[in-house]
A = this chain, B = another copy of it.
Amino acid sequence: MRLIIAVVQDKDSVKLSDRLVKAGIRATKLASTGGFLKSGNSTFMIGIEKERVDEVLDLIRQSCRAREQLVNPMSPMGNQIDSYVPFPVSVQVGGATVFVLDVEKYAHY
């Protein structure tokens, strides 16, 4: 048995939850902030048999991997000004930090 702890951005957490449910894998979600990733993240705890660890890592990578995304930046004053033509810029979103821990004993009551 292994315990997988995955810190992912909030925007990816619904996608990850859906894929875990479809694969029949149960997870517990903890509210978390900052740190490994930009603000707004979730921490998933997933208990899984040793043989299925790579399957879970694949699901996490597919749901959460860091990628470029074009966004229209706000004007310097924080709102749209007539004379300001926003230029789309590429920012990195997503990403996941994952720890796989060995479980000495697992119990279910």
Q: Which residues of A come within 8 Å of B, CB atoms? A: 1-3, 5, 7, 17, 26-37, 41, 43, 45, 47, 53, 57, 60-61, 64-66, 94-109
Inter-chain contact A30/B29, CB cutoff 8 Å: no
Interface centre among A31, A34, A65, A105 (most CB of B within 10 A): A105
Which B residue's beta carbon lies closest to that of A107? B98
Q: Which residues of B contact A96 (CB under 8 A)?
A: 107-109
A31 and B32 alpha carbons, distance in the complex (Å): 7
Which B residue's beta carbon lies closest to that of A31? B31
Main secondary structure on chain A at its contact with chain B? strand
Q: Which residues of B contact A31 (CB under 8 A)?
A: 30-32
A108 and B22 alpha carbons, distance in the complex (Å): 23
Which B residue's beta carbon lies closest to that of A6? B107
A98 and B108 alpha carbons, distance in the complex (Å): 6
